[in-house]
Amino acid sequence: MNIKKFDTKALDKILEKMMETVGSSKSEILQIGETCRQDFELLTDELKEIKQAVRDTISEGDQLDKESRFSRRRLSEVSQHFNDYDESEVREAYEKAHKIQTDLSMNRQMEKQLRERRDDLERRIYGLSETIERADHLVSQITVVLNYLSSDLKQIGEVLEDAKQKQDFGLKIIEAQEEERKRLSREIHDGPAQMLANVMIRSDLIERTYQQRGIDEAMAEIRDMKKMVRDALYEVRHIIYDLRPMALDDLGLVPTLKKYLKTTEEYFNQSTIQFTCIGETKRFPAKYEVALFRLIQESVQNAMKHAEAKEVVVKLEITRNQLTVVIRDNGKGFDINKRKSNSFGLIGMRERVEILEGQLSIDSTVGKGTVVLIQVPLAD
C-alpha cells in the first residue's frame, strides 16, 4: 500500500480517544477518593460521639460502683442485725442492692460495646486515610501519563510528517501506536483502576468480616487491601517509565539504562540484571538514544515477562565508529524457526535497527535462553 501523506489528523483522533480513556480512569479514581473522604468524615464524626459516650459511661460506671459498695455494706448490716429491721426495710435493702448491681452490669457491658465500636472505627478511619492517600498519588501519576500522551506521542506525528523518506513505515507505525494505546488503556483499566475499585469493595467487607469472623480475619482483609493498593502504585510507576523516562533527554543513554535496569530488577524482584558499559560514555543524537533504549527495553521486557528469565546480562560497547549491544538471558528461549512472522515486537525492533542502518540478530534455543545482538554504525 502506497502512502502519499501521513495523516496527522487521524493520529490526533486516536490520541484523543486514548487520552479520553485514560482521563476516564482518572475520573473514576477521583470518585473513589471522594467517596472515601465522605466516609472518612462520617466515621470521624461518629468516632467523636463514641469517645464521648465512652467517657460518660465510664463516669456513670464509677458512680454506680460507689453506690454498689455502699449498698453491699448496707445489705451486710441488715443481714447481721436482721431482727432490728422490719420486713419493708429488709426488702428495700435487697431490692436496691440488686438494682444497683444490675445497672452496674449493664453499664460495663455497654462500656465494652462502645470500646469495641471505637476501636473498629479507628481501624476503618486509618484504612480510609491510606486509601485516600494512595488514590491521590495515583491521580498524580496518571496526570503524568496524560502529559506524556499529549507531548511525546504528538511529537511522533510531527516527526513522521517531516521525514518523507520514512513514509513507507507510516502504516506500521500508526498500527504500533494504536496497539500501544490499547495496551496502556488495558493496563491502567485492568491494573490500578480495577485494584482501586476492589479496594472500595474490600473496605465494605472488612467491617462485615470483623463482625462475623473476628478480628484476625478482618486484619487479614486489611493487609490484603494494603497490598492491593501498593501493587496498583507499582503498576502505575512501571507504566509511566515504559512511556518514556525523562532522564533520557537530560542525562543520556547510559545513565538512563542504568536506572531503568535497576528499576526493572526491583520490579520483578526475584530476577537479576547485570549491566556493563565498555568505552567512552557520551551523548548520542536523539534518534540513536531513543531507538537503542527502546530496543534494549523490548529485549529485557521479553526476557523477564515472556521467557521468565532469572538472570539477564546487558552489555553495551561503544567505539568510535560503532555501538554494539548484547542482551543475554537464561530464560525459556524459543524456536526461531517456529516463531510467528508477524510478531509485532520483533518487527518493531527490526524497523528501529533498519532506521539506524544497523543490524539485528537473535539466537535462541528452547530451554537455554536467548541472545540478542544489535550493531549500529556511528557517524563521525
Q: Where are the domains of the chain?
A: 8-241, 245-377
CA-closest candidate to residue 22, choices 236, 200, 177:
236
pLDDT band at 317 (very low <50, low <70, confident <90, very high): very high
pLDDT tens digit sequence for 318-352: 998 899 999 999 988 888 777 554 455 677 788 78
- Using CA atoms, how far apart are residues 48 and 129, in angstroms rounded to an integer? 17
List, for residues 158-216, the tens digit of each pLDDT value.
Answer: 555 555 444 444 556 556 566 767 767 776 766 677 777 777 777 777 777 777 777 88
Which phi and psi angles does 379 have, rounded to 5°? -75, 150
Q: Looking at residue 284, what is its pLDDT?
A: 85
Q: Which residues contact 127 (CB under 8 A, 6 or more apart)?
A: 203, 206, 222, 225
Distance CA 377, CA 324 (A): 9
- Helix residue ranges per DSSP H, 244-302: 247-250, 253-268, 286-301
Q: Which three cell numbers stand for residue 93?
A: 435493702
pTM over 0.85: no
The three cell numbers locating residue 138: 495515583
Cell of 66: 460507689
Residue from 206, 230, 205 nearest 218 by CA? 206
Distance CA 265, CA 259 (A): 10
pLDDT at 160: 54
CA distances from 74 to 64, 67, 77, 87 (A): 15, 10, 5, 15
Per-residue pLDDT tens digits for 14-66: 777 777 777 787 788 888 888 888 888 898 998 899 899 989 989 988 888 88
Strands 359-365 and 322-329: unpaired
Tens digits of residue pLDDT in 291-312: 888 899 889 988 988 888 899 9
Q: Domain 245-377 is in which class?
A: alpha beta
- Which of the two residues, 354 and 170, has the higher pLDDT score? 354
pLDDT at 207: 75
> pLDDT, tens digit, for every residue of 60-108?
888 888 888 888 887 787 777 767 777 777 788 788 888 888 888 898 8
pLDDT at 308: 87
Averaged pLDDT for residues 7-14: 65
